[in-house]
């Protein structure tokens, strides 16, 4: 069972490794579903952890239909990631009609090699998941991250199962979104996947002693600025253990 943990900062990356994750997906901006992290972040993560580091290539939040400026940003970010010795890239581009943009995705895949490539949950916004599956295989993606075209993987588990069967080893299917201690057993058993993607999130209390009671920092939720998002290594181990037991 391959366990990928999505992380948004250096502390989370270190804790994911401590919890025996196989790899991390390094992103920024969790509120937008993940965008490309800074190169300083990528460099520090790569220097300080030994497990595989996959980096999100996503120039903005919102949809996955990008203009030429945004596509150029993705290509430049890809080149920088290669220089920083990451192990893989995670991206997905769609056409206006809701299909995989095979031309642009293949250009990025070819540019990425010999690194590995994952099609992220842009896949879940396609018009036809089986058409998208074949398109991803045709252009050379190594895996697809999917929740079965539903908000959470447990809700889309029947589609994930069918995708796994149709893929038939030609591409890896990785279940993600809402994968946790309460759902992982059913997802793995029903979908038959060998890879899972999860966050194992926990929050640490800020070390700041002074807290101005008149302002909620830069956020909208009072007090949230004194909670630091990270990964719980014990949760990573527990989710892995449950997933491995379910796959037997």
Dihedral of CA atoms 187, 238, 36, 34 in degrees, nearest 10, equals 50
Dihedral of CA atoms 114, 176, 106, 164 in degrees, nearest 10, equals 90
> Widest CA span of the chain, in angstroms?
58
Contacts of 160 (CB under 8 A, 6+ apart): 146, 147, 148, 153, 173, 175, 187, 190, 191, 193
Tell me the CATH class for 2-246.
Answer: alpha beta
Q: How far apart are CA 144 and CA 187, in angstroms?
A: 16
* Half-sphere exposure at residue 215, Cβ-oriented, CA atoms within 13 angstroms: 4
For residue 52, the cross-strand partners are 23
Q: What does the pLDDT read at residue 116?
A: 98
**pLDDT per 10-residue tile (average), the chain, 248 residues:** 98 98 97 95 98 98 98 98 97 98 98 97 97 98 98 98 98 98 98 98 89 68 74 98 96
Annotate 154-213 with DSSP letters as a single string. TTTHHHHHHHHHHHTTSSEEEEESS-STTTHHHHHHHH--SEEEE--EEEEEP--S---T
Q: What does the pLDDT read at residue 218?
A: 59
């Amino acid at each position: 069972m391959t366990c990928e943990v999505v992380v948004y900062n250096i502390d989370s990356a270190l804790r994911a490794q401590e919890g025996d994750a196989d790899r991390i997906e390094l992103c920024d901006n969790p509120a937008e579903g993940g965008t490309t992290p800074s190169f300083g972040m990528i460099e520090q993560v790569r220097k300080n952890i030994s497990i595989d580091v996959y980096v999100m290539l996503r120039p903005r939040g919102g949809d996955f239909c990008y203009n030429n400026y945004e596509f150029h940003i993705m290509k430049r970010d890809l080149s920088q990631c290669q220089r920083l010795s990451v192990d893989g890239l995670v991206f997905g581009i769609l056409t206006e009609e809701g299909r995989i943009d095979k031309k642009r995705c293949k250009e990025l895949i070819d540019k990425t090699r010999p690194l590995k490539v994952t099609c992220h949950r842009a896949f879940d916004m396609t018009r036809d998941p089986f058409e998208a599956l074949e398109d991803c295989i045709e252009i050379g993606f190594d895996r697809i991250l999917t929740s079965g075209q539903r908000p959470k993987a447990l809700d889309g588990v029947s589609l994930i199962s069918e995708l796994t069967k149709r893929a038939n080893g030609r591409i890896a299917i990785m279940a993600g979104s809402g994968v946790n201690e309460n759902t992982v057993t059913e997802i793995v058993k029903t979908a038959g996947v060998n890879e899972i993607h999860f966050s194992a999130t926990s929050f640490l209390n800020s070390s700041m002693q002074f807290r101005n009671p008149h302002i909620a920092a830069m956020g909208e939720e009072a007090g949230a600025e004194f909670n630091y998002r990270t990964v719980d290594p014990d949760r990573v181990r527990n989710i892995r253990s449950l997933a491995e037991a379910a796959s037997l």
